[in-house]
Structure formats: structure tokens, C-alpha cells
Structure 1
């Protein structure tokens, strides 16, 4: 399930494919409603599709780390992708663990280290950004899972990290 938000509408919706009927026909669910989708053509510049027997054309203008500028049926709009992604990363990097037992701050996604926001010996509060990773053309902040002092920064700018790699220790 993917979460999207269209800026101009300020409304979030969930979408997922319920069934692949073959021949580019799908049954999809948007929020609580099921729809029939037929993809006519799709490439790096856009997509043409029929949704509930209505033709639509979407043209991709540009995609940044967490948003995409598109034109759908001649109406430009910006879609925020993965609006809950940072919460998932935070939770899985130890942000929701009880107590302060876990010292290591681990990456929960593979990616490239874009920037490191702290230095050895810095004090951080739970939720402070420690570093920023780029994964699947999106930048994701890795946040401190507890209050403490930064020790042993393992991540290096420009380097790649795998899921589970230690970014740094927080004591």
C-alpha cells in the first residue's frame, strides 16, 4: 500500500492493486473504493490509462526526492510521495523501542549517504536528524532513536549503506 498526497488538494489517499486481470487490466482500491484500471501506454515521460471507462493522460514533468510534478488531463499538480516514509524509517531504526537499551542507530533502508548532520561528541535529542540517505530517488532523514551523545559515526558521505548497517552509536 502506498500513501500519496496531492499538495493543492491537501488530501491524502491510499492506493493499492487488488487484482491483476492480465492484459494491463487491474482492479485497484483507492481509499475504500474499488476501480477498474486499464493501462494503455506507459513510459518514462508519462502514462495513458482508462479509469472507470474514462480516458486520462498523465505527463511526468519532474520527480525530486519525495514529490512528483505531473500534468493530468492538462491540469498541473504536485504529488507528495511516501508521506509516511520517514515515520516508518524512524520507527524501524529504533525510534519506538522502549527504554534506552539500544545504542546502535541502524539504517532500515539501503541507500547512499547524502549528508551527515552530526559530529562525534554531539548531543542529540530523540528525533534529531543524524544523517540523510538517498534511496529510490528519495531523500530520507535517519533520526536519533533516543537522547544521547553521538559516538562512532560509521556512515561516510557518498558511501552506500545496506539495510541494518550501523550509522552511529548514541550513548
Structure 2
């Protein structure tokens, strides 16, 4: 995937390699491998380590062709590949979230009305994790695979955004 950063003439070639044994994301940029460890992720803010250096991204605006962000306080506009949104959505669907294959994320915004599991519980693929209320409808977020609940990231009554992490599985 080609990435163009506003005000920088060079285009970058990048691709996602996968996850290492410690659930760090491995990416390749211009032929060099790099590790990304997500520390905190919200719908509009990401904190992460990139090759062991701390960074923070705040999302300012998203359009079909551009992503405007603040990277460590510096404004940037990233020109998106025409199929980037489709690729990201497929990746999220396959992995259960952006951070790693261990995260379970909400596909819709809503208010948490019940939590069906506790930390340490064993779950099977398809088990309810939390139930959200969105537009007067109740929607269950289900486990994408078998595992053990390592952590719950939400509380009953909490409002969450689309793509917020609700739980982490081991």
C-alpha cells in the first residue's frame, strides 16, 4: 500500500506483516520491518510504541481520500489509497480489532447495558461478551474465537464509540 504524507514529497511503501509472539504488530515500511505495540486505543486516539519510542496519534478528520491526524502534536494529512478503508474493515473483521487478534471491539457506538462475562472466564466462539443499546435496539458483541477473558475494558452504563475495545482474550 502506498502512503502519501502531506508536505512530504516521498511516498512510502508499507504493509502489515502480522503479529509477533508478544502480540506486537509487525509492519514493513520501505522494506524495513518495524514493531508497533499499542498501549491505548480509543475511537479518536492511539498511544503506541514504534520501535520502542512512544507516540500518540489523535484523529482530527476522516474522509474517503484523506486522514487528518496529530502525530505527537504535529498536524499531518495522509492521502489514503482508494481501497484503504475496505482493507482496514476486512482486517478488523478478521482480527477482532486493530490492536491485535486478542481484542474484541464494538462495531457500533452505544451504551453498555450488560456484561455477560467476568475477567478470567472461559468463552467459546459466539458467546456474548457485552450487550449494547444503540438507537433503542440491543446488540450483543460476541467472542470471535474460543479463549479466556484477560481484561474487560468497559463498565455497565458506559457509552462507547465504534471500534472501541470492549475486552481482551488470551
* TM-score for the superposition, normalised by structure 1: 0.45
Over alpha carbons, which structure has the higher Rg?
1
* TM-score for the superposition, normalised by structure 2: 0.45
